[in-house]
Structure 1
Amino acid sequence: MSWSGPSPDTDVEKLLAKPMVCIGMYVAAASLVCTLAMAADTFNGFRSKKYWFPSKYFSLNATSLTLLAVVMKLPVDLTTRMHTATDRLAKVSSLVFMSTAMANFFTSLGSMDDKDILMNVAALGILVITVTSNVFMQIIQVRSLLSGRLAFAEEILAIGSMLLLLVMCGSSALMIPSTKRYLETKYKEMHKSALIEEQVEMGKITTDKLRVLIKKYWIMAETSCLQFVVARSVTCTLSGVISLLISLVLVEAHIRMAREYRILNESKSSYGWSTKWILLTQTTGVIVGTIAPASRWFIAINFRSSNEGSSKSIKSALTVEGYWTQKMVDWKQSSLSFKIRHLKSRKVVHDLRGLILKLCIFAQFLTVLASKLVLLISVCIISPLITCFKCVRRLKRRERISDSSSSRHQEDVDIKHYVMLLEGEVELPTETLGNVCKEINYIIQKGKMHKPKSLLNFFYKSRNFNGVKEFDSHQVPSLHPEDLPYCWSLPVVTLTSIALALPNVEKNNTTCLLNSVTEGLSIMKLVDKNFGRKGSLANIRTAANIVWVGVEIYHKWQGKDLHETSLKGKNSKEILEELSNKAEKTVLEFKRDARESHMKNPLNWPTNVIAANSMYRISRAILLTRGVESDKTDGALFEQLSIMIADIMAACFTNLGRVITMRCHSNGIEEMEKSVRKAALLLGETEEVLGLLQQRELPVLLAPDQAAYIEEWRALFQQENKNNQGSVSMPNAEIDASRSRKEEVVIKTEG
């Protein structure tokens, strides 16, 4: 009995083919994501005038490789029949899209460490080899039908471009480790040179000097950026040529298919109408993704045509610099990473590895040489056009250039001294360096847009630095035999807490004070952080931060509502005594209950106890002054505290120039760009503050290193007071009184 119904195999095939349209749309979606990422990098490059287009959104990593694996669904599909013009063109567009994506990956190699480079390039190689193997398997299986295979030549060219770009990518990856070491060594030498120049020009730090300093280090940071270095390399340049040529191959295939077969007809494969969406998104991706690699190639031609003569160009094209092969030479000369006990076996393995590496070095040599020759040919063909374009452009802008040529020339001479170039690299064009300088100027201007407006208005209250010596008094008996030091922000936080608790003060004044201190503390924290003495003041800085969170957000000091305190109708003296007593009680209770020996050191105290000790001393000092000036109103006391806060901030901000300078002095080239960018933003934000401080003179006996610490200021002012009184040491009666007060407090605490 024979089966007359439909074949079970046919039914299974139909069921399996149903979701293929959805899979095709998934491929189109993955292609669209890659296209948008490449477009974002291209837009970012044009916006920032970095025409070497750094990889920020589309880089070589696990996410992008996974997306590309989805995009390659059509080329690796060996079973689905795809014979129409639309289907065949979609396969070619997938392969060209892969080549375009690889060309966009090159600069991202500069942002990875050695391990990430190895893993990501290996993963890319596996993906490319897998795609290539699947395509060639299909070609071999249907070799009898190749005469009727549409777009076969374009398919082979796309595969060839993928493999060639993989070789270029591996070549660039091998160059990066030795390049990084070379640039780090060169940066250290240039950094030393810059430090010597700074010491020679040492004097009062001005905003103009800081601008010049930031510009120097920005030039060093940008030109030594490894992404920029890779973008300038000849292998990356060749990738641009390949990307441009293979995109033209896809355009040619589109035009030829449109003429012969009407490519937008219905697809006969299982992917159905989704094939057209795949073709559309991938073709768009190829067009968008070709812009960055082609621009790098054109810029490289512009570099060479501007700086080299013909004889020098030929000589450079026939020279392969050592950093291209240095990594493999190091591997060849190093010992085996694994142990082999048998001497002869170890020798065989070592010789075999040496032979393989020698072949790799030779292949690297040929790759770099071929890349240089292609670039030289490109320069010979295109440089006449560039020269004509420059002549026309120069004629149009001659008047503008003549007006500013002298100043610009002087600036360029200074800037070029700090450009970081590899061995054999041509000098960067003036226009490129100008764009780099414009970027740092834009960053400084961006910082100006966020300048602390409330702080600037508040800053005019300060006329000198007297608040530094007035906020605390040595006449206040200490709660511990060893005095607790201050950081810059702790007295400001404490004084602000007291000021907000005062009665009969207009709400507008307290709001302005709160906003001003909030803006000022964000800058003071930078000074405290940059000049912290080996973390000895870490607990004190933390105490100030915690107290300020309560004051700013909840209007409370250690659970005590400052707003409610100011409305109770008490006078300022009672409020000061209340805050002082609460703080004193907190410190004495902790000392009584503390059992661990390390807590005897006040630097190890909990943050709430440190803040309480500060409140006790400062409120007592104000009470002492209040006793002398008992006729002062609450509003007048608020104003006095505001001036004291402004004086402390002014003394702290005298260190801003050194903070900005220290941020420029980064330890490594990888962190330098980010560090200099922060310095430029800080300069923009605080330029007006620095301008006001330039009109003041620091105390004569205060060295720059001492000016970073509020305790040094207090010690200097205390010494000046003693000198003004005609004696260096404290009178014996006062010493005895002070000792008796300390002993009384200690006995009381221990009891």
Structure 2
Amino acid sequence: MDSFSTDTFAQLENELESHCSSTPLAVLNFLLKSKSQAEMEKKFSKPMMWIGIYIAIASLFCILPMVADLLHGFKNKKLWFPCKYFTLNAASLTVIAIAIKLPMDLNNSMPGDVDQAAKLGSMSFMCTMMANLLPSLAIMDSKELLTNIIALAVLVITLVVNVCIQIETGVVHNCEDGYYSTQPYNHCLIAYIYVTMLLMLMMMHICTSLMILKSKQILESKYRSGHETAVKDLELQQPGRVTVEKLKHYVSNHWIMAETGNPQFMTVCYATTSASGVICVLSIAVHVIVMRFTRPTMKFYGSDYKWSVIAILITQFTGVILGTVAPISRCFASLSFKVSIKWIWNHMRVFKVESYCTQKLSDWKQSSIPLKFSSRRCKIVIQDLKVLILSFCIGIQKSVVAACKIIALIPIFFVIGLFCCFYCCKWLKIMFGATYNVTAENPAQLQHSKDLSDYVLQLQNDMELAQRTLKSISISVNHVIQKAKKQKPNNLLKLIEESSSFEGVGKYDVHQVPPLPEEKYVDCWSLPVVTLTAIAISLPNIQNNMVNRLLRSVSEGLTYVKHVEETLNASEEFVSGQKAARALWLEVDVYHKWLGNKLQNPAHQVNTTKEIVQWFSDTAKNMITEVEIKNKKGSDDSSVYMSVSANSMYRITQTLLVSYDANIDQVSQEELFVKLSSMISHILAACLTNLPQVIAMKCHTSVIEKREESVHTAARLLGETMQIINCLKDRTLPSLNPDELPFIDKWHDCFLHPSP
């Protein structure tokens, strides 16, 4: 340390007095020892400045995800700012613990005004972060929620205890305590205010967690009912014949359910969220006052952190300013979602606590504990104790919710004042003759709005979503679809439009060659497409622009084929073929190679069409033999990949040689390229007839936390593939059962052996 503490000076004084009666040599030894001790303590304090920089960097890593959430909210027009990047987890708690090290530091003297302001500012920063983290509780399952809440509670309680200890020991001090200070405010009083805020926020987090557990169950039950209604409305009895318009309605219905049933959207409507926003505002107000009086003395710091304490103070003050935007917006967003005189009146009835707030505790209270005690008296004592504890917790829960409702009255009165001003201005304009252009709403739009409102998920039946919020959600799904429509796969569309049938699905493999006995696998959509493309782009006489167009078309097509395979062909029997196709496509598309062999003019002596096809067939056969030998010593992933890819190539090339018979020498490379492109087009078209079913399935997921993202993917997929769906809806499908359409082997068998 740069200077001795009060206790150190007192100890030195006592020791010096004891040495005064000693010889001068003893006094000299004592002074030398004291000097050595001072130099040692100074040496130990050198790293403190770097620790301060470390704290500032950790604070910055807390600020950046909060800013990212703000930008994400503005970009998606979600002014309730869902937590996407700044969430409560082990990593964020670790960084937060580093960022609030100053108020955790029990014995490091911080005598300067800047030092004290930085210590208090870290507490304000913690309040801001807790208010920002509140909605992220909703995206966790029960186990994660319990773990993270306990971890947060331990951190907050440790912080509160440490600050209280520092107030008692004088590390957080007042100017009356013997320390020089130019500030007109009381450091200890402000520290107590922040301690109170932190404890209140901690109670809000715990109460919100209990409310989330029951709220998810309520919303899940209502979602299942809405999903069943939407499925009946879609009429999926004829896959491949569902119109784009019906799909849009289906996606919109699930979008409404996903948005209004979003766990984070749900938490914004809690009284605890509004109250946390108010506390956040009070926190920043206190911190602004502290900063206002600290600014003139910014250069005066006296701790071992040196100038790094200024970096901490400025960084965390910036974080407090930026971090307050989201909690305040959520506070007013909850009013805009359900603002009505009836809702405001119900909310102002602060002593009316909704059933879902305490239902989880009541369920635990009524449940029985599985006890292994044989004594009946012990069981009675434990059960009575459990009921007593949970009854107390229910009382605490009701008190906290009621207190939050009282705090939340502040923004409610503010909104009421704004409404009064708005209606007064409107009345004055009418009085002074101002005209209004009132446009009657389209009856179709009114009916559509009513249909959408049937899919709104609310915790209570008497709650009603504001029409402008419903309209905003409806506009957002249309915006996603229209934006995706502009990113349609033009090259894939041209390839599919060049043909009008699916016959190529039955022509790519008419000469059956069984796979290796050790590596049996079921064919998938993507593998023959990649194999045919590899042969097509290896033809040396084909123009580069035609080759590049085919590659772009197949690349776009495989993106949607992957959706079909992951959604409808996700069983284990398809895995090896799908993995091989993805690895092979990377090699073909990027490196223009097939299993390590260059594609264009693969061998210098190969020039004719027959020679090229025969070279692929022979190479594939040799690889199959090599894999058989290798498998006797033990197989691995690479051998499976080579076996599946080589089998596919061998079957397809043998099919080409047999289909042309002896006339393949007379076939030009251009003709073969056209034939291969046609088969690729037919296979892709057949696969993509399943897109309506894929989109419908992506709209629904059983995991509530992933539902919004899944519906967003479905909406984007619908927008990108609208024209493909319209292009394929009039083509004649093979005589297959609806549940057989997602499988290429069923299509293949149907074309090879058509039913009479």
Smaller-chain TM-score bracket: 0.7 to 0.9
Q: Following superposition of structure 1 onto structure 2, how do residues 456-471 of structure 1 map, counting pairs within 5 Å?
A: 456-471=493-508
Identity rate, percent: 37
Is the Cα–Cα contact under 8 Å of residues 266 and 272 in structure 1 kept in the other structure?
A: no
Bigger Cα displacement from structure 2, 449-458 vs 287-296: 449-458
> Which residue among 225, 232, 252 is the counterpart of 2:289?
252
In structure 2, the residue corresponding to 1:308 is in which secondary structure?
Answer: helix
Which residue identity is paired with 1:418? Y
Q: 1:155 aligns to what?
A: 191
> Which residue among 661, 664, 668 is the counterpart of 2:699?
664
> Which residue among 240, 244, 257 is the counterpart of 1:207?
244
Q: 2:381 aligns to what?
A: 348
1:417 aligns with 2:454: yes
Distance 1:401 1:159, change over 3 A: farther
> Which residue among 712, 724, 731 is the counterpart of 1:689?
724
1:639 aligns with 2:663: no
Distance 1:328 1:645, change over 3 A: same
In structure 1, the residue corresponding to 2:439 is in which secondary structure?
Answer: helix
- Return the offset for 1:146: 5.8
- Return the offset for 1:57: 2.6
In 2, Cα distance between equivalents of 1:581 and 1:19: 69
Is the Cα–Cα contact under 8 Å of residues 301 and 383 in structure 1 kept in the other structure?
A: no
- Return the offset for 1:299: 1.9
Is the Cα–Cα contact under 8 Å of residues 504 and 566 in structure 1 kept in the other structure?
A: no
- Return the offset for 1:302: 3.2
In 1, Cα distance between equivalents of 2:631 and 2:63: 64
Q: 2:10 aligns to what?
A: none
Which residue identity is paired with 1:128? V
- Return the offset for 1:610: 4.7
Structure 2's unaligned 5+ residue stretches are 1-22, 178-185
Cα displacement string for residues 447-475 of structure 1 (whole angstroms, at most 9, x for unaligned residues): 445433332332232122222233343xx
> Which residue among 383, 398, 401 is the counterpart of 1:368?
401
In 2, Cα distance between equivalents of 1:557 and 1:93: 62
> Which residue among 31, 49, 57 is the counterpart of 2:85?
57
Which residue identity is paired with 1:453? N
Distance 1:153 1:649, change over 3 A: same
Bigger Cα displacement from structure 2, 10-19 vs 370-379: 10-19
Bigger Cα displacement from structure 2, 142-151 vs 574-583: 142-151
In structure 2, the residue corresponding to 1:520 is in which secondary structure?
Answer: helix
Which residue identity is paired with 1:537? F
> Which residue among 162, 165, 170 is the counterpart of 2:206?
170
- Return the offset for 1:713: 2.9
Bigger Cα displacement from structure 2, 376-385 vs 574-583: 574-583
Which residue identity is paired with 2:449? D
> Which residue among 730, 733, 739 is the counterpart of 1:705?
739
- Return the offset for 1:533: 7.7
Q: Following superposition of structure 1 onto structure 2, how do residues 428-447 of structure 1 map, counting pairs within 5 Å?
A: 428-447=465-484
1:194 aligns with 2:227: no
- Return the offset for 1:617: 4.2
Is the Cα–Cα contact under 8 Å of residues 521 and 577 in structure 2 kept in the other structure?
A: no
Is the Cα–Cα contact under 8 Å of residues 358 and 397 in structure 2 kept in the other structure?
A: yes
> Which residue among 694, 697, 712 is the counterpart of 1:677?
712
Which residue identity is paired with 1:35? I
Q: Following superposition of structure 1 onto structure 2, how do residues 85-234 of structure 1 map, counting pairs within 5 Å?
A: 85-141=113-169, 148=176, 150-199=186-235, 204-234=241-271
In 2, Cα distance between equivalents of 1:569 and 1:535: 39
Is the Cα–Cα contact under 8 Å of residues 494 and 615 in structure 1 kept in the other structure?
A: yes
Q: Following superposition of structure 1 onto structure 2, how do residues 204-603 of structure 1 map, counting pairs within 5 Å?
A: 204-255=241-292, 262-264=296-298, 266-306=300-340, 308=342, 311-314=345-348, 317-336=350-369, 339-376=372-409, 378-389=411-422, 402=439, 408-423=445-460, 426-448=463-485, 450-473=487-510, 476=511, 486-502=523-539, 504-532=541-569, 534-558=571-595, 561-565=598-602, 568=605, 570-580=607-617, 583=620
Distance 1:632 1:386, change over 3 A: same
Q: 1:733 aligns to what?
A: none
Is the Cα–Cα contact under 8 Å of residues 107 and 171 in structure 2 kept in the other structure?
A: no
In 2, Cα distance between equivalents of 1:14 and 1:617: 79
Is the Cα–Cα contact under 8 Å of residues 321 and 424 in structure 1 kept in the other structure?
A: no
Which residue identity is paired with 1:402? T
Is the Cα–Cα contact under 8 Å of residues 338 and 466 in structure 2 kept in the other structure?
A: no
Q: How many residues align?
A: 708
In 2, Cα distance between equivalents of 1:589 and 1:63: 48
Is the Cα–Cα contact under 8 Å of residues 371 and 379 in structure 2 kept in the other structure?
A: no
Q: 2:183 aligns to what?
A: none
Which residue identity is paired with 1:659? V
Is the Cα–Cα contact under 8 Å of residues 75 and 94 in structure 1 kept in the other structure?
A: yes
Cα displacement string for residues 45-90 of structure 1 (whole angstroms, at most 9, x for unaligned residues): 2222211112223222233333333333333344344455433333
The TM-score with structure 1 as length reference comes to 0.83
Distance 1:74 1:701, change over 3 A: closer
In 1, Cα distance between equivalents of 2:424 and 2:628: 82
Bigger Cα displacement from structure 2, 271-280 vs 657-666: 271-280
In 2, Cα distance between equivalents of 1:147 and 1:351: 52
- Return the offset for 1:556: 4.1
